[in-house]
Structure 1
Amino acid sequence: MVQLNQQNLLIVVRQGQAAVRVAEAQLKEAEVKVENLKKERERLANLLKKNVISQQKYDDIDTAYSMAVTRMEVIRAQILSTRENLAMANQKLRDTVIIAPFSGLIVKRFINQGEYVSTMPPSPLFLIMNIDKVKTKISLPEIHIDHIHIGNPVDVTVDTYPGIIFKGKVSTINPMVDPVSRAFTVNVEIPNKDHRLKPGMFARVKIYPTIHKSALIVPFKSVIKREGNTVVFVIEGNTVRLRAITAGITNEKEIEVIDGLKEGEEVAIEGHYGMADKTQVRVERE
């Protein structure tokens, strides 16, 4: 929270409050006077009809009543104006207290005590950071994009605290690959309640990819593309059969097969590029 000099504004607010109280008292007095003159005017109007009083006497009370009503309306207008001025003064007073939008630490100050600041355009005062949670940004080669998912656990280490592992998780994944580096950006979020991790620290990150238990895998080089389909050649005796599969995650050595292949079936891993379906082969097992 920042508090600017309030002395002059406090004086204006107090003067405005006093002016409102005075005007309200004057209004009450004027209203009483108008009510009394109204009653007297009505009484004299009845006497005038009976020719008990002169026209001049009635005209005098009628004029006094009209002037009292006018003064009452003037006071009411003054009260509205005074209240508007007071509201503006109160707003300016509130503006002297600047409250941060969130709790955090001041990491940079842009002004010094006694400097003037403006609201249009707004003058930056401080740079505030909440480091209860910190984030680190890493770039990964595009070949790993199938392995990484939001929520994957992450180990983070920094040189400042050797031997200490900070636990985090993948928070966001940018799906767009950088056309130059062929890498995609991953953001990692790390709880930091004790504030040991500071903004700008260099970090090393180990991401634990999604684990597929009991996954059916085949050598990476056994899988090829044919007419837009992912296929393998299944060995049946001395013949190979072309079969479409649904591939899962890969580590460039092995690839997961989600559908299209059963456990125990053998696939060709050499010499099958350009091979046709139902080709006779001589199988050499590794």
Structure 2
Amino acid sequence: MESNIMRNIIKITLSLVSLALLVAGSLYMIRSTSFAGQNKPSYQLANVQKGDFIWSISATGIVEPKAVTEIRSMASGEIKAIHVEVGMKVKKGQTLLELDPKIEQRRVNQAKADLLIAYANYNKAKSSYLYAQTSNKRLQMLLQKGLISKEEAEKTANTFSLQRAERSLRYAQIRRAKETLKEAQERLKETRIVAPNDGVILQRFVQPGQIISSGTNSASGGTILLRMADLDDLYIRGDVDEADVARIKEGMPVNITADALPQQVFAGNIHRINPEGKNENNVTVFEILVKLGPKATKVMKLNMSTNLKIVVAQHKDVLLVPSMAVRQSRRGARVLVFADGQASRRRVKLGMSNGMQTIIKEGLKAHESIVVSSRGNSKSKRRSRRGKNRKGMSMRNMRRMMR
């Protein structure tokens, strides 16, 4: 009986010892694996790609026409008819609106009458001048013969001078009357307003039946009736920071996008760069004018907001890597090439960089894997000093390889 009890105790003890050894071994394996994971660096990799490189400068701008034409009239009167609406396309010479010509016709008639009066006054003054001229010559001859007094001859000479001045005055009045008639006839013509060029009506400022009064002074240009523009010749007016303006020049291509036209890219080019900068929020910017291409002109609207990418440089079919993967030192540029689970440094020859991508001229091939960045994977807050030292050595070795 006692021997059976002892055998059971021995069996239980051996089972407990085996279980303890198994748990201890499992904990050791977990801990070892954990430390191994803590010390093994992970890599963020990227492939060397072959593609197109673009270096661009960003800007924003507003769509506008090259020029806006204000349609004015120097004529006065009631608007009889308006033949256009906002948004309508018109051709050069097309009738836009008409005014009642009665007021301007009366002015033309009055100007004609004034011209006739001016001619009559001139003819009268001319006759008086010719008579005074003949009398003056005759009396001068009599004065030389001593037949009249000097005072009488001077009186006739003064009369001649007055008649000559009167003739000049009446002639000037004829010229003024002619100008008045010409202006009245022009104003009469402007009771029928025609388009000065092809374009689209942008605004209308008057209504049928409205009476306009442009006055008699043509210096003001007359009353504004309509605004129109050629929408086949559109531009974008934008601003470029002074730090970038030295890199751009007229004729450079521009890629254009608009929030109102998503997933569409339009072509344009720099038409003009303002030589004088302006201050906006304590930043100096230079105004540029970008001419839109035919595709953009067909779909973009005036005052539409746009985003501009001015293409400073572009290269086709070149090797590209992320700029973060490149390390430079006095010895030159290097990257870490990752192959067979290991990273090794390699010297490369660089081309142009736009900050995001860098062109590789020599040293790499397409589809090779390179290290963009590396880091440890430890998530544990408690590390052994030995683990820390190992990790530190690993990171130092990594940095040394990148030099």
TM-score, structure 2 normalization? 0.41
Aligned residue pairs total 239
Provide the rounded CA distance (Å) in 1 between the counterparts of 2:168 and 2:151: 26
Tell me which of 131, 146, 151 is aligned to 2:253: 151
Q: Deviations over 1:66-92 (max 9, x none)?
A: 563354244245335535644664565
Q: Per the alignment, do residues 275 and 112 of structure 1 end up closer, same or farther by CA in structure 2, a change over 3 Å counting? A: farther
What residue is the counterpart of 1:34 in the other structure? Answer: 129
RMSD after superposition? 5.7
What residue is the counterpart of 1:279 in the other structure? Answer: 400
Residue 211 of structure 1 and its aligned partner are, at CA, apart by 5.8
Pick the structure with more strand per residue. Answer: 2
Residue 49 of structure 1 and its aligned partner are, at CA, apart by 4.4
Residue 104 of structure 1 and its aligned partner are, at CA, apart by 1.3
Contact kept, 8 Å, 2:104 with 2:184, in 1: the verdict is yes
Alignment of structure 1 residues 3-14 onto 2, 5 Å: 3-14=98-109
Contact kept, 8 Å, 2:349 with 2:363, in 1: the verdict is no
Contact kept, 8 Å, 1:37 with 1:61, in 2: the verdict is yes
State whether structure 2 residue 311 is matched by structure 1 residue 213. no
SS at match of 2:228: strand
Provide the rounded CA distance (Å) in 2 between the counterparts of 1:70 and 1:133: 58
What residue is the counterpart of 1:131 in the other structure? Answer: 231
Contact kept, 8 Å, 2:325 with 2:336, in 1: the verdict is no
Provide the rounded CA distance (Å) in 1 between the counterparts of 2:314 and 2:290: 20
Tell me which of 149, 164, 169 is aligned to 2:267: 169
SS at match of 1:125: strand
Contact kept, 8 Å, 1:239 with 1:280, in 2: the verdict is yes
SS at match of 1:79: helix
TM-score, structure 1 normalization? 0.52
Provide the rounded CA distance (Å) in 2 between the counterparts of 1:66 and 1:154: 77
One-letter amino acid matched to 2:334:
F
Q: Deviations over 1:124-147 (max 9, x none)?
A: 53343433356799xxxxxxxxxx
Contact kept, 8 Å, 2:132 with 2:159, in 1: the verdict is yes
Provide the rounded CA distance (Å) in 2 between the counterparts of 1:10 and 1:24: 21
What residue is the counterpart of 2:173 in the other structure? Answer: 78
Tell me, which stretches of 5 or more residues in structure 1 are unaligned?
138-148, 160-165, 180-185, 282-286
Larger radius of gyration: 2
Contact kept, 8 Å, 1:171 with 1:188, in 2: the verdict is yes
Q: Per the alignment, do residues 63 and 276 of structure 1 end up closer, same or farther by CA in structure 2, a change over 3 Å counting? A: same
Contact kept, 8 Å, 1:34 with 1:69, in 2: the verdict is yes
Contact kept, 8 Å, 1:242 with 1:276, in 2: the verdict is no
What residue is the counterpart of 1:191 in the other structure? Answer: 294
Q: Per the alignment, do residues 67 and 150 of structure 1 end up closer, same or farther by CA in structure 2, a change over 3 Å counting? A: closer
SS at match of 2:362: coil
Tell me which of 130, 137, 141 is aligned to 1:46: 141
Residue 114 of structure 1 and its aligned partner are, at CA, apart by 2.5
Tell me, which stretches of 5 or more residues in structure 2 are unaligned?
1-95, 215-219, 238-250, 274-280, 282-288, 338-342, 376-394
Contact kept, 8 Å, 1:216 with 1:263, in 2: the verdict is no
Higher relative contact order (CA 8 A, sep 6+): 2
Provide the rounded CA distance (Å) in 1 between the counterparts of 2:222 and 2:397: 71
State whether structure 2 residue 123 is matched by structure 1 residue 23. no
Q: Per the alignment, do residues 232 and 35 of structure 1 end up closer, same or farther by CA in structure 2, a change over 3 Å counting? A: same
What residue is the counterpart of 1:114 in the other structure? Answer: 209
Contact kept, 8 Å, 1:104 with 1:131, in 2: the verdict is yes
Contact kept, 8 Å, 1:232 with 1:268, in 2: the verdict is no
Residue 112 of structure 1 and its aligned partner are, at CA, apart by 0.4
